[in-house]
Amino acid sequence: MSTIGKTLNQFIIESQRAFPDASGDLSGLLNDIGVACKQIAHLVTRSGISGLGGYAETHNVQGEPQKQLDILSHDIFVQQLGWTGHLAAMISEEIEDVISIPTRYPRGQYLLAFDPLDGSSNLDVNVSVGSIFSILRCPDSTTQPGMKAFLQPGTAQVCAGFTVYGPATVLVLTLGNGVHGFTLDRDVGEFILTHPNLRIPQQTAEFAINMSNQRHWDSPVEKYIGECLAGADGVREKNFNLRWVASMVAEVYRILMRGGVFLYPIDERIRQQGGRLRLLYEANPMSFIVEQAGGLSSTGEQRILELMPTELHQRVPVILGSSAEVARLIRYHQKPE
Ligand code: AHG
Ligand code: MN
Ligand code: MN
Ligand code: MN
């Protein structure tokens, strides 16, 4: 028995044994994702020294300026996962269309949607960034998967996870049976199970929202945040703390550790584009994780995991975290004042 604790690989293989008919493809894929995340962690840590923390002079399909590490992290995912035979296709924040698996490689039964580097605007200020991923089953094993194959609701996810590259690199995973966190032990090069069965506290006194958008908000969000700000002097009868890292991975990780609510709601400025965060590789995987940890996730009007996607890079409003707080926000959306 190892003295360093359970490795990610061990955890995955043991989980697979619960399903005697499993092909091992998902285990292989998760192992590949772990390797990709270790490579990205290495690049992120060294970006100040290597000079790779800056902009690339290109824009992605959403019109965002790309950092060099957005592109490099995307390349690592594609190179690490394309050849092993577990995937049928991928989509990434950084590429407009579906990424096909080269025909020289065997084709697997899964689809992967990923955000290679979340919060990349934080690279130059040395604040946590991360990678987010969502795994779906490929609905048709005969034809080359196109956009339609990816347009499945979040409830169809087989697995979702994210890695946060912070003071420690931690990979958080759900296979639909709870949420588990694995910390990278750089000395042995393995992710070690350090946070089994994460549960989000129901109540919280901490909220995360970009306050600079306040003048654009709709009334339910205005009301909720107003009450948090009024604290013990208002109807909530307790004081709240505000946090905004501008890396969703860091916010969700914090919520998994000690509760809280995260909002990137619809507002007047972004109403036309449907929201800020992307459904398939940000909102859906994070919603799956949050629900599996006992929290809730909603647009304010609908459960995110039940949305039927219509576009690969579709954006949605996101409200997630401690169940009592998200439930309150949903109530305010039902009865706006
Ligand atoms: P990405 O870096 O992958 O494009 O995503 C950034 C997202 C998310 O992580 C964060 O919550 C949000 O953008 C921050 O947006 P603002 O800069 O509008 O606060
Ligand atoms: Mn981006
Ligand atoms: Mn992102
Ligand atoms: Mn990104």
Q: Which residues are annotated as a binding site for Mg(2+)?
A: 93, 115, 117-118, 282
DSSP 275-294: -SEEIIIIIHHHHHHHHHTT
Classify residue 275 as left (phi > 0), alpha (psi -120 to 50) or beta. Answer: left
Q: How far is the CA of 182 from the centre of ligand 1 (A)?
A: 24
Ligand number, closest to the Cα atom of 92: 4
Q: How far is the CA of 93 from the centre of ligand 2 (A)?
A: 7
CATH 3.40.190.80 fits 206-334, yes or no: yes
| Domain 8-195: CATH architecture, name and number where available | 2-Layer Sandwich (3.30)
- Model confidence at 274, in pLDDT bands (50, 70, 90)? very high
How many Å apart are CA 256 and CA 250, to the nearest integer?
Answer: 10
Residues framing ligand 1 (Cβ under 6 A): 64, 93, 115, 118-121, 210, 246-248, 264, 276
The protein residue whose alpha carbon is closest to atom 11 in ligand 1 is 248
Q: How far is the CA of 121 from the centre of ligand 1 (A)?
A: 8
User: DSSP code of 239?
Assistant: -
Sign of CA dihedral 219, 220, 224, 225: negative
pTM exceeds cut of 0.90 = yes
pLDDT one-digit tens code per residue, 284-335? 999 999 999 999 999 999 999 999 999 999 999 999 999 999 999 999 999 6
How many Å apart are CA 182 and CA 7, to the nearest integer?
Answer: 8
pLDDT one-digit tens code per residue, 223-242? 999 999 999 999 999 999 99
| Token output for 81 | 């996962």
pLDDT one-digit tens code per residue, 157-201? 999 999 999 999 999 999 999 999 999 999 999 999 999 999 999
Average model confidence (pLDDT) across the chain = 95
pLDDT one-digit tens code per residue, 13-59? 999 888 878 888 999 999 999 999 999 999 999 999 999 989 999 99
Q: Do 173 and 159 form a contact (C-beta atoms < 8 A)?
A: yes
**Which atom of ligand 1 is least distant from the CA of 247?**
9
**Which atom of ligand 1 is least distant from the CA of 251?**
11
How many Å apart are CA 15 and CA 150, to the nearest integer?
Answer: 25
Q: What are residue 133's phi and psi, to 5 degrees?
A: -145, 155
Taking the domains of the chain in order of start, what are their residue ranges? 8-195, 206-334
According to DSSP, the β-strands at 261-264 and 206-208 are parallel
Domains 8-195 and 206-334 in one fold: no
